A and B are shown apart, each in its own frame.
Chain A
Amino acid sequence: MTLYLVKRLGVLLASTAAAAVVVFAFMALLPGDPAEIALGVNATPEAVAELRSQFGTDRAPVVQFLDWAGGLAQGDFGTSYVTGAPIGPQIGDRLGVTAVLVLGGMVLALLIAVPLGTFAAVHHRNLLGAAISVASQLGIAIPAFLAGILLVFVFAVQAQALPSGGYVPIAENPAEWLRGLVLPWLSLGLVQGAVLTRYVRSAVLDVMREDYLRTARAKGRGATGALWRHGLRNASIPVVTVLGLQLATLLIGAVVVERVFVIPGLGDLLLNGVAQRDLLLVQGVVMVLVAAVLLINFVVDVAYRLLDPRLR
């Protein structure tokens, strides 16, 4: 296990490094000189040249990359060409918001999917179980942003029960923070929950056919007890894999949901960066998102091993 962990950690670092190269190379393709953009259309060539050297964009790409990557390793994302503000703290703030959004959505999805999926599997022969299956299929077919729009329409605009958007830092007002996040969490969680419900259902269904569940019942457990004690942990193995994929999907789904709910998260920062041609900012945000996905994959792989002694 330790060997595996070391090896897998190595892969994570190597992938992250490779991702950094890809992201940097991709951004280098962006048309437009940041210095020219920053100075506007009627800047003098001297001023542009000066700013270029100030930004460091007049250096060879390799040098620029090493400088950037070296900074990243120390948590320094550089200074924005557009706002003149250091990028790291911005990303830090936004990452916190997005993380809360995504993790909350995930938890909600799990809270929906585990009971519903298990129930649907246990009762897969009766109407209610089938109804859950159909509902989850329908849930998958609805884009998250549409769910968000509808939720706002119903709960914020019509019922006036919750805010339609915005984000209040938890330190400022915990109650408002929570109220503001309910609908975004729901729009992410409902759709992801629908997807996850199907996986949970099929995993539980698979487990229910396993011989060891019959063994457990032969020991004197009831059907529910056997499933609880022996089934769910086994069923969690395929679900954890899917969960990893879903987290990555959620991270991106958050971009859209942030737009719908006016939440200042990473997605908002990314789209702003693109619109403002804030090259270094976009580069930093993309890198963080990609690294997050890689990290999630790493965690899932390790969790997989921890859950399943056969792989240790």
Chain B
Amino acid sequence: MSALLTVEGLSVGADSVELVHDLSFTIGPGERVGLIGESGSGKSLTALSLMGLLPEGVVASGTARLGGRDLVGVQEARVKRLRGSELSMVFQEPMTALNPLMRVGAQVAEVMTLHGRSRQDARQRAVELLARVRLPEPAEIARAYPHQLSGGQRQRVMLAIALANEPRLLICDEPTTALDVTVQKQMLELIAEVAPALLFITHDLAVVASVCERVLVMYGGRVVESGPVREVFTHPRHRYTEGLLAASRLTPRGTRLPTISGSVPAAGRFPSGCVFRNRCPHATPACETAPALTGDGHAFACWHPAG
């Protein structure tokens, strides 16, 4: 099958520090992929580099193509046409992601007028979209200001904005982290239902398990393991994935393994070779050489894989 999104050799760096290293993966049409890792692993930067929204001073290299169109290393003027139409993104913090001074409906409509829809049409469709993300009384919500909505409602608005132009790929960056647990669940179900193809970024393994089909595990700016969710979660090969699973309730054998020792180093302070070796209980001198991500379907980069 032809992939919807193809990422090859994507690196992100600021000044001399490399934050994401040589990332490659694909997402097929309609496929829901989770990108998992602790904060500082580079997952959010990966998403932002695809959107062309990297903060100032942070630069991406390599290639990323969405349906044949380049996303990385292209002029802003060209990428910005894709943003909000071909691919869109829902951010982590719903409380601050909406403009406090603008009515909700207008903010939803804006994304459509930006991509060529007439103002009146956009306004009407905004209400439909609000209904589609299951907001009660969408017409009223459209007239409200963000501060009059709850966090969950605002995140739905964000989702409505993201879906407005029927994008081919939806990127969600921790969209439920800031929400109450009950709201979280509804939100996840909604995303799973409406997303065309999905890149779902989270640190929460359970969320990935419930939404995604395939998962990429990131650590230290690299993908250390990838594969179908069920397989990776039941038979983790990389010692980091193993630790992550152990720390969560998704332990494969029900027995608690010791959690990962130490904490994630600051950017640029990861060891050479295997980036995990300074925290890995199984590390040997062999790990001073960087392992390649190998394997078909279920791939991992570890000299001393588990199981």
Direct contact of A and B (CB under 8 A): yes
Q: Which of B97, B100, B102 contacts A214 (CB 8 A)?
A: B97
| Residues of chain B from 75 to 119 with CB closer than 8 A to chain A in the complex | 76-77, 80-85, 88-89, 91, 93, 96-102, 110-111, 114-115
The count of residues in chain B whose C-beta lies closer than 8 Å to any C-beta of chain A is 32
Cross-chain contact B110 with A212 (CB below 8 angstroms): no
**List of A residues within 8 angstroms of B85 by Cβ:** 220
A279 shortest CB reach to chain B, Å: 49
| Residues of chain A from 220 to 261 with CB closer than 8 A to chain B in the complex | 220-223, 229-230, 233-234
A210 and B55 alpha carbons, distance in the complex (Å): 12
A299 and B276 alpha carbons, distance in the complex (Å): 60
B193 shortest CB reach to chain A, Å: 21
B80 shortest CB reach to chain A, Å: 5
A226 and B171 alpha carbons, distance in the complex (Å): 20
Cross-chain contact B96 with A125 (CB below 8 angstroms): no
- The closest CB in chain A to the CB of B95 belongs to A211
A211 and B89 alpha carbons, distance in the complex (Å): 12
State whether the Cβ of A217 lies closer than 8 Å to any Cβ in chain B: yes
Cross-chain contact B51 with A212 (CB below 8 angstroms): no
B112 shortest CB reach to chain A, Å: 9
Most buried by A among B81, B93, B111, B162: B111
State whether the Cβ of B53 lies closer than 8 Å to any Cβ in chain A: yes
A308 and B98 alpha carbons, distance in the complex (Å): 14
Q: Which of B53, B56, B99, B145 contacts A218 (CB 8 A)?
A: B53
Contacts A211-B91, A222-B80 given; does A217 touch B99 at CB 8 Å:
no
Q: Which of A215, A221, A310 contacts B97 (CB 8 A)?
A: A215
Contacts A212-B96, A310-B100 given; does A219 touch B147 at CB 8 Å:
no
State whether the Cβ of B161 lies closer than 8 Å to any Cβ in chain A: yes
Contacts A222-B77, A230-B102 given; does A214 touch B115 at CB 8 Å:
no
Q: Which of A210, A212, A217, A234 contacts B83 (CB 8 A)?
A: A217
Cross-chain contact A212 with B97 (CB below 8 angstroms): yes
B140 shortest CB reach to chain A, Å: 15
Cross-chain contact B101 with A307 (CB below 8 angstroms): yes
Cross-chain contact A216 with B80 (CB below 8 angstroms): no
Most buried by B among A214, A221, A310: A214
Q: Mark B136-174, 1 if CB is under 8 A from A, else 0.
A: 000000000101000000000010011000000000000
A221 and B99 alpha carbons, distance in the complex (Å): 14
- The closest CB in chain B to the CB of A229 belongs to B110
Cross-chain contact A220 with B83 (CB below 8 angstroms): yes
State whether the Cβ of B262 lies closer than 8 Å to any Cβ in chain A: no
Q: Which of A221, A234, A310 contacts B147 (CB 8 A)?
A: A310
Cross-chain contact B100 with A219 (CB below 8 angstroms): no
State whether the Cβ of B307 lies closer than 8 Å to any Cβ in chain A: no
Contacts A220-B85, A309-B101 given; does A215 touch B161 at CB 8 Å:
yes
**List of B residues within 8 angstroms of A214 by Cβ:** 53, 91, 97
Cross-chain contact A212 with B84 (CB below 8 angstroms): no
A222 and B82 alpha carbons, distance in the complex (Å): 12
A168 and B194 alpha carbons, distance in the complex (Å): 70
Q: Which 3 A-B pairs have the closest CB atoms?
A: A220-B84, A219-B111, A211-B96
Can you list 13 pairs linking A and B with CB atoms under 8 Å apart?
A125-B56, A210-B96, A212-B96, A214-B53, A216-B99, A217-B83, A218-B83, A219-B111, A220-B82, A220-B85, A221-B80, A221-B114, A234-B99
> Known pairs A220-B81, A308-B101. 12 more at Cβ < 8 A?
A215-B91, A215-B98, A215-B161, A218-B89, A218-B162, A220-B85, A220-B114, A223-B76, A308-B100, A309-B145, A309-B147, A310-B147
B residues adjacent to A (C-beta < 8 A) = 51, 53, 56-57, 76-77, 80-85, 88-89, 91, 93, 96-102, 110-111, 114-115, 145, 147, 158, 161-162
